[in-house]
């Protein structure tokens, strides 16, 4: 393990000095004899070294750091994968950092380099390789090819959390000096116990080359002295964080270790206050919990102690009166939900306990032997016909869109509306009467249209996924789906092929119109979901 000790000047609310300890836990420089501690890997061993030619992009640039050997991927549209071995992390680090250097070049010409199709993807695992998360992806330029040397100043840096992919990508083509991401970093918390890394490089052509060098995993500890000020208020005496005892108000200095193990110098602005006393008369039911948390079960005089407004002892004399709770039993019979005396709602028969205040202000515990009679208010919809599922009862159908007005003569178990709308049924038996939920009917007077010749839709009706087929095939077609109110659900353009599949499972059930436009022809087809 290689350790580096750096002295740092840190500036915050106050200027303090500290040290940064860095331990190299694993390292891979792709040399014939790699430096220790060697981070082993599996994958294609494709290396390059030296410097790019004067006609390359960028010219005369190191292929590896300082011209050393680097890992190269060129013309690998499927991507090459380097799988680095799992590293066990010793405890005690503040953070773990994985870093490598990256260059993007065209070794065969003065322009070009990686574009939007080319990338270097870093995935990490903290469970020994069972689960990987794609965390850091570097791409070529969004507009065209780009290139940069190791001297580019861009840094692609992410933290282990969140476990989602972060993208770093130049927005312009050509040479990159500030947006060339020559340093790639992933920072983990010191609590991780193991880290495994997988690097995938994709190159779409011989003009697009990625070069990776000096992959290192380091454990870091920062030790920083600090200062702070506190203003405690104490009673009679005060024990400081460092263990010193002060008995009078004043300003004192104290020193303790901070979270980094360095000195934390504390300025204590101390106020010392005195205790107080008071008398209260309390009434309770069954038992009394005093301000200090003591429990008393009989009337009498008691002494209690709590902090006063200054944070010191307040000695309280309690003149206590203890009253008693009461109990009762009731046996209600109810239709549907039952509201208890205390305001609780019960929907099924059984024994329940309820509590309300009695005349003394104490608990009156009520045992409720409840009988709840229920009635089935569920309905079924078949086409435009609504059917109440309850049998052996009376029915009255109502119009939900007309203030729940009763529909004259609609007293059967089933009801076929004469117009589209929202309807419900009042179901009544010998004990209860209840109303169903409103049912939306949209299909009155509507029949499924025949699908135009040459086009088939299956299934129709569907559960949400349907396929539109045409033996003659679609070419540059546009499909627009609207609901019965004319609102556009989706529009798909530039469609070709003999079968088009659509998914509307996230949309509500009902009827829709699918409009197919191709050339100057338009077809509209009704669908049921």
Q: Is the pLDDT of residue 124 over 50?
A: yes
Supply the pLDDT for residue 13. 28
pLDDT band at 424 (very low <50, low <70, confident <90, very high): very high
First CA to last CA distance, the chain: 65
Domains of the chain with CATH codes: 2-223 (2.60.120.260), 225-269 (no CATH), 276-323 (no CATH), 327-371 (no CATH), 379-441 (2.60.40.10), 455-528 (2.60.40.3080)
Of 27 and 451, the structure prediction assigns the larger pLDDT to: 27
- How far is residue 287's CA from residue 50's CA, in Å, rounded to a whole number? 87
Of 410 and 101, the structure prediction assigns the larger pLDDT to: 101
Supply the pLDDT for residue 522. 76
Separation in Å, CA 292 to CA 68, 237, 284, 316, 380: 74, 21, 15, 9, 62
Q: Is the pLDDT of residue 451 over 70?
A: no
Tokens of 466: 């349907």
Arithmetic mean of pLDDT, 67-78: 95
Supply the pLDDT for residue 4. 45
- Is residue 296 within 8 A of residue 335, CB to CB? The reply is no
pLDDT band at 6 (very low <50, low <70, confident <90, very high): very low
- Is residue 527 within 8 A of residue 514, CB to CB? The reply is yes
Arithmetic mean of pLDDT, 25-52: 96
Supply the pLDDT for residue 7. 37
pLDDT per position as a tens digit, 397-408? 999 999 999 988
Picking from 16-30, 69-83, 333-347, 426-440, which range would have the lowest pLDDT averaged per residue? 16-30
Arithmetic mean of pLDDT, 33-60: 96
Arithmetic mean of pLDDT, 183-191: 96
- How far is residue 192's CA from residue 96's CA, in Å, rounded to a whole number? 8
Nearest C-alpha neighbor of 146 from the set 85, 101, 103 = 103
- Is residue 202 within 8 A of residue 78, CB to CB? The reply is yes
Supply the pLDDT for residue 134. 97
Highest mean pLDDT: which of 85-99, 223-237, 457-471, 497-511?
Answer: 85-99
The strand pairing partners of 70, in sequence order, are 48
Arithmetic mean of pLDDT, 169-182: 93
Supply the pLDDT for residue 17. 39
pLDDT band at 38 (very low <50, low <70, confident <90, very high): very high
What is the separation of C-alpha 224 from the centre of its chain, rounded to a whole number of angstroms? Answer: 34
Find the Cα–Cα–Cα–Cα dihedral 363, 364, 367, 372, rounded to 10°: -100
Supply the pLDDT for residue 202. 97
- R_g of the chain, CA atoms, integer Å: 39
Report percent pLDDT > 90 for the chain.
62
pLDDT per position as a tens digit, 250-302? 999 998 877 766 678 899 999 998 888 899 999 988 889 999 999 999 999 99
pTM to 2 decimals? 0.45
Supply the pLDDT for residue 466. 92
């Amino acid at each position: 393990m290689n350790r580096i000790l750096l002295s740092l000047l840190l500036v915050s609310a106050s200027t303090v000095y500290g040290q940064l300890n860095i331990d190299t836990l694993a390292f891979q420089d792709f040399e014939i004899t790699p430096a220790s501690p060697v981070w082993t890997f599996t994958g294609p061993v494709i290396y390059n070294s030296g410097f790019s030619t004067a006609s390359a992009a960028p010219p005369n640039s190191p292929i590896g750091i300082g011209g050393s050997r680097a890992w190269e991927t060129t013309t690998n549209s499927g991507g090459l994968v380097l799988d680095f071995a799992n590293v066990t992390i010793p405890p005690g680090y503040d953070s773990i950092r994985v870093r490598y250097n990256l260059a993007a070049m065209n070794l065969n010409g003065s322009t070009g380099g990686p574009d939007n199709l080319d990338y270097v993807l870093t995935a990490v695992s903290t469970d020994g390789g069972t689960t990987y998360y794609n965390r850091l992806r570097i791409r070529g330029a969004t507009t065209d090819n780009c290139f940069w040397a190791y001297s580019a100043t861009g840094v692609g840096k992410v933290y282990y959390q969140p476990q989602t992919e972060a993208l770093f990508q130049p927005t312009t083509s050509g040479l990159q000096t500030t947006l060339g991401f020559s340093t790639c970093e992933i920072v983990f918390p010191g609590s991780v116990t193991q880290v495994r890394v997988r690097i995938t490089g994709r190159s779409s052509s011989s003009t697009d080359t990625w070069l990776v060098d000096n992959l290192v995993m380091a454990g870091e500890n920062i030790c920083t002295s600090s200062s702070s000020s506190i203003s405690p208020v104490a009673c009679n005496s005060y024990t400081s964080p460092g263990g010193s005892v002060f008995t009078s108000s004043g300003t004192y200095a104290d020193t303790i270790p901070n979270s980094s193990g360095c000195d934390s110098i504390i300025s204590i602005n101390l106020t010392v206050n005195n205790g107080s006393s008071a008398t209260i008369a309390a009434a309770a039911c069954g038992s009394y919990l005093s301000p200090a948390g003591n429990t008393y079960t009989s009337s009498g005089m008691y002494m209690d102690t709590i902090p006063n407004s200054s944070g010191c002892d307040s000695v309280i004399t309690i003149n206590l009166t203890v009253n008693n709770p009461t109990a009762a039993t009731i046996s209600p019979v109810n239709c549907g939900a039952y509201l208890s005396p205390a305001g609780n709602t019960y929907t099924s028969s059984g024994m329940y306990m309820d509590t309300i205040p009695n005349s003394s202000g104490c608990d009156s515990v009520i045992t409720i032997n409840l009988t709840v009679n229920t009635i089935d208010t569920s309905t079924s919809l078949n086409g435009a016909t609504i059917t109440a599922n309850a049998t052996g009862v009376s029915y009255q159908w109502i119009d939900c869109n007309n203030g729940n007005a009763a529909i004259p003569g609609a007293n059967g178990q089933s009801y076929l509306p004469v117009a589209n709308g929202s309807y419900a049924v009042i179901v009544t038996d010998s004990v209860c009467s209840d109303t169903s939920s409103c049912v939306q009917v949209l299909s009155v007077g509507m029949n499924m249209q025949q699908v135009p010749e040459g086009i088939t839709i299956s299934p129709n009706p569907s559960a949400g996924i349907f396929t539109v087929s045409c033996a003659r095939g679609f070419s540059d077609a546009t499909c627009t789906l609207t609901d019965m109110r004319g609102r556009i659900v989706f529009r798909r353009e530039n469609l070709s092929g003999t079968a088009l599949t659509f998914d509307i499972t996230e949309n509500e059930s009902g009827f829709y119109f699918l409009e197919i436009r191709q050339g100057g022809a338009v077809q509209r087809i009704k669908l049921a979901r």
